[in-house]
Amino acid sequence: MINVLLLALVALLSIPPTALADHPIPVQELVLRAKPAVALVTARVDAEATVNCGAGAITVKPAPFVETGTGWFIDGRGYLITNAHVVDPAHRLPPWVTQELKKSAVDEACVNPVLARQGLMRGQRPDLEDQIRRRVDMGSIRLRPLPQVTVLLSNGAMLPAEIKKFSSPLLLDAAGKPVADSGRDLALIRVKDGVYPALALDENVKIGDPVRIMGFPGVVLSHELLNKTAALEASVTTGAVSGLKQDAIGQDVIQTDASAAPGNSGGPAVGHGGAVVGVLTFVSLSPSGGSIVQGFNFLIPARDVKKFLQGTEVTKPGESPFNPVWAAGLRDLGQESFKSAAAKFGEANKLLPDLPDVKRALAEAEFKVKNPPPRPFPWAWVTLGLALVSGGGYGAMWYRRWQRNRFRVKAGEVVKMMEAGVNPLLLDVRQESAAKTAPLKIPGATYISPDALEQGRTPMEVDAARTVVAYCT
């Protein structure tokens, strides 16, 4: 039993570390691997408008039109994926965006001055406001739009972005029919050269697979009880693939019950392997009130993202020098190799400084290096030591016993020798007192004292080839 235990312990201790590490990625590590690659994308259209309110033309700067969504780095050199509808206001400047800017210009140039002269606040006299707006000829407003797309990283860096490829969003007309230029609702945007975290693509998705949507829902960005830093780090919602569907023009979409909201658009849905299985494209709205119905949100499959990237400079999705360093640090942290983890996190922080997730992980690893947790009692080593000691003791006892008994023969074996004609020489080597008083005597045996035997003094000449059997009691 001890030998079996010993062999089992030796086998366990001899398993290579790589074999022990071959296990699914823990959920927290999976999320932390992906989250730094997710960024807030903003399409903003400022404008200068020349408006005639009736007393001559004046130039004003109306409130900008702002659309926010989510993007994620597909290439560590600075390429991001987002939805086309997130950047469309700044990219194509649709008529409805121009109309909103003109309305804002009328309020700035015409409505606000009249209300101010009468000591009124906006909303106190809606009838007066509507009357002022109706007097303005919207067609006569000259508008000079100033569109821009920016990417806000989780370290607070605001980077201007350029749209490199664009596939129109899916749009429906008043009759609910898709408009002619409806597309895949994807955009590839580029920020300045650098080293950024990046996410790979996973085209293998099945119903029931877990997914985690990462992004910047507007309800979080504008929440009155949250700090402004809430806009820096992506939120994560969890669900599963609940269906494989098609949109109104026959394009594949993945249905998921992971929660989403406006602002999540363009966000990655990360699978159990840490890669992107889909990109959030639209949510479901209640037909009655227009409120969001959770549990019925839809993703663009990763294979369509890969197809969209054809012909661009992104040929190796997910490649980045940041990724292996960051992943190795998280793995070391999970395995309590704190010194190694701190070194990896320090390297990641040099590649792209001040990412909150990296800073927190680095602080945790450095704290654990200085304040190591108590090590668990080494039961395996103690058990192995006890097994070795016990095995050694039993081995020594067995060896001594073997030495004592290696020349011992049984009485039956002596009888067989005599019957076979071997005729062994029998020696009685008991103490003299025992030999004289004991009733047991073997016929034909020659007595010799133990001392004489030890000194080599025998009462007769012994043939070296003859078998000698000595007995005592």
Q: Compute the half-sphere exposure of residue 183: CA atoms within 13 Å on the CB side of its CA.
A: 16
Q: How confident is the model at residue 16 (pLDDT cuts 50, 70, 90)?
A: very low
List the one residue out of 369, 180, 212 whose CA is nearest residue 299: 212
Calpha distance 32→365 (Å, rounded): 15
Q: State which amino acid sits at residue 174.
A: A
What residue ranges do the domains of the chain occupy? 27-308, 409-473
Give 42-66 as a 3 state SS string: EEEEEEEEEEECCCCEEEECCCCEE
Q: Report the pLDDT value the prediction gives residue 196, as an integer from 0 to 100.
A: 97
Q: Is the pLDDT of residue 447 over 80?
A: no
Closest CA relative to residue 199, chosen from 84, 356, 320 = 320
State mean pLDDT over 150-170: 96
Provide the pLDDT for residue 290. Answer: 60
Reported as a single tens digit per residue, the pLDDT across 22-49 is 457 889 999 999 999 999 999 999 999 9
CA R_g for the chain = 43
- Which three-class secondary structure string do you get for 117-154? HCCCCCCCCHHHHHHHHHCCCHHHCEEEEEEEEEEECC
Which of 374-390 are b and which e, b meaning 16 or more Cβ less than 10 Å from the residue's Cβ? Answer: eeeeeeeeeebeebeee
The larger pLDDT score, comparing residue 394 to residue 289, is at 394
For 106-141, what is each residue's pLDDT tens digit? 999 889 999 998 898 888 888 898 998 998 888 889
Mean pLDDT calculated for residue range 77-93: 96
pLDDT for position 67: 94
Q: The tokens 């994926």 sit on which residue?
A: 81
Q: Could you tell me which residues come within 8 angstroms of residue 23 by beta carbon, excluding any fewer than 6 positions away?
A: none
DSSP 8-state class, residue 231: G
**pLDDT in the model for residue 4:** 42
Per-residue confidence at 464, pLDDT binned at 50, 70, 90? low
Which one, of 284, 287, 275, 274, lies nearest residue 253 by Cα?
284
Does the pLDDT at position 144 exceed 50? yes
- Locate all alpha helices (DSSP H) within 299-427, ordered by sequence: 302-308, 322-334, 338-351, 356-370, 379-405, 411-419
Is the backbone of residue 290 left (phi > 0), alpha (psi -120 to 50) or beta? left
pLDDT at position 158 = 96
Query: pTM score, two decimals?
Result: 0.74
CATH T-level topology, domain 27-308: Thrombin, subunit H (2.40.10)
- The C-alpha atoms of residue 127 and residue 459 are separated, in whole angstroms, by 145
Extract the tokens encoding 116.
């101010």
Please state the rounded mean pLDDT for residues 152-167.
96
Q: What are phi and psi of 141, to 5 degrees?
A: -75, 125
H/E stretch holding 268 reads strand 268-270
